[in-house]
Amino acid sequence: MIERKIDRVIFYAFLTFFIVLIGFPFFWQLSNSFKPEREIFDIKWLPEVPTWANYAAAFSRQPLFSFLMNSLIIAGFATLLALLFGSMTAYAIARTNIRGKKPLLLLILSISLLPPIVIISPIYNIMRALSLLNSHGGLIIVNMLFCLTLSVWFLTPYFNSVPTELEDSASIDGASPFQCYTTIIMPIVAPGVFTVGILAFIQAWNEYLFALVMNPIRVKTVTVGLKLYEADNYIPWGPLMAASVVIIVPLIAVVMFLQRQIIGGIMSGGLKE
């Protein structure tokens, strides 16, 4: 706590400055999404005649609703699959004495840091061979790869933190290892799995490169769709800002309601200590 009054004034001045600096671009996006075009050109701080017209235009100029549905399906399924396989792997690393844990963790780390450009062309060919280009399936699989590395990395500490006694006493009572996993361990780590799921979902929702390369014709995601508002060197800023507000509303809502969990998740698993 800061004691001297003058220190407190300086402190709050700095704090306000930082908050404005960080929050301003977001404020500007929101403010302009409600302005008629004339006010955008006149650079008004706040809309004088607030209008929903930009939001209507955002949905009519491009099929924004189907972009949203595509992203929801792709990010949702990629997250679910990554959590399923990721929690199994994290359990195996944290709770069993399998060999090769170190190389496995190193592999996971390397893949999570892999430049997408190194794998994009072979993956494109694999997906073409499987007829998964321009479909939800192809992007679900690719996003699952990156969500999976994130899940294992963040979930392993959660599994490590469950006391071993719980599992030991259950297996003395005759429970099989698989029963221990489903009925004892999973309920305890469920909140952690949920948090990691949020992080994975945000990552998949925001993915751009693969979404652009693999689905150029059909099944466009929100990130790819946003770029389509720009046409012939003309950018309709009002509708574009409105569309980008719509795209980030689910994310902002998640961040607001689950702020504590997300920050905890980033801080606990973000780096190995």
Residues numbered 116-175 forming contacts with another protein, rule: CB under 8 A: 116-123, 126, 141-142, 144-145, 148, 152
* Stretch of 53-61, 62-70, 93-101, 187-195 contacting another protein, by CB under 8 A: 93-101
Residue 198 burial (CB count, 10 A):
18
Alpha-carbon distance of 145 to 120, in angstroms, equals 12
Instruction: Quote the least distance from Cβ 42 to another protein, whole Å.
Output: 8
Q: 80 vs 111, which CB is nearer to another protein?
A: 111
C-alpha–C-alpha distance, residues 243 and 26, integer Å: 13
Strand, helix or coil at 271? Answer: coil
Q: What part of residues 18-37 is at the interface with another protein (CB under 8 A)? A: 18-19, 22-23, 25-26, 28-29, 32
Residues facing 271 on adjacent strands:
none
* Among the listed residues 53, 73, 80, 111, the single contact to another protein using CB under 8 A: 111
Contact 86/153 with Cβ under 8 angstroms? no
H-type alpha helices, 207-232: 209-214, 222-227
With CB under 8 A as the contact rule, the residue among 74, 132, 196, 240 that binds another protein is: 240
What binding mask, one character per residue, do residues 242-261 give for another protein by CB under 8 A, x or -?
--x--xx--xx-xxx--x--
Q: How far is the CB of 52 from another protein (least distance, A)?
A: 19
**Would you say 86 or 197 has its CB closer to another protein?**
86
Residues between 44 and 83 with contacts to another protein, criterion CB under 8 A? none
- Taking CB under 8 A as the binding criterion, the range among 49-57, 60-68, 114-122, 158-166 that sits at the site for another protein is 114-122
Binder among 68, 95, 138, 162 for another protein (CB under 8 A): 95
Residue 264 to residue 234: CA distance in whole angstroms: 42
In angstroms, give the least distance from the CB of 19 to another protein: 5
Taking the C-alpha atoms of residue 134 and residue 138, their distance in angstroms, rounded to an integer, is 8
User: Any idea what DSSP says for residue 132?
Assistant: -
- Binding test (CB under 8 A) with another protein, winner from 61, 63, 85, 188: 85
- Pick from 155, 205, 215, 242 the residue near another protein by CB under 8 A: 205
CB of residue 28 to another protein, shortest distance in Å: 6
Q: Residue 231, SS3? A: strand
Return the number of other C-beta atoms located less than 10 Å from residue 117's C-beta.
Answer: 8
The whole-angstrom separation of Cα 40 and Cα 65 is 25
What is the rounded CA–CA span in Å between residue 124 and residue 139?
A: 10
- Out of 47, 202, 228, 261, point to the residue binding another protein (CB under 8 A): 202
Residue 116 CB, nearest distance to another protein (Å)? 7
Cα–Cα distance measured from residue 80 to residue 147, given in angstroms and rounded to the nearest whole number: 9
In the chain, count H helices and then E strands.
14, 0
Q: How many residues contact another protein, by CB under 8 A?
A: 90
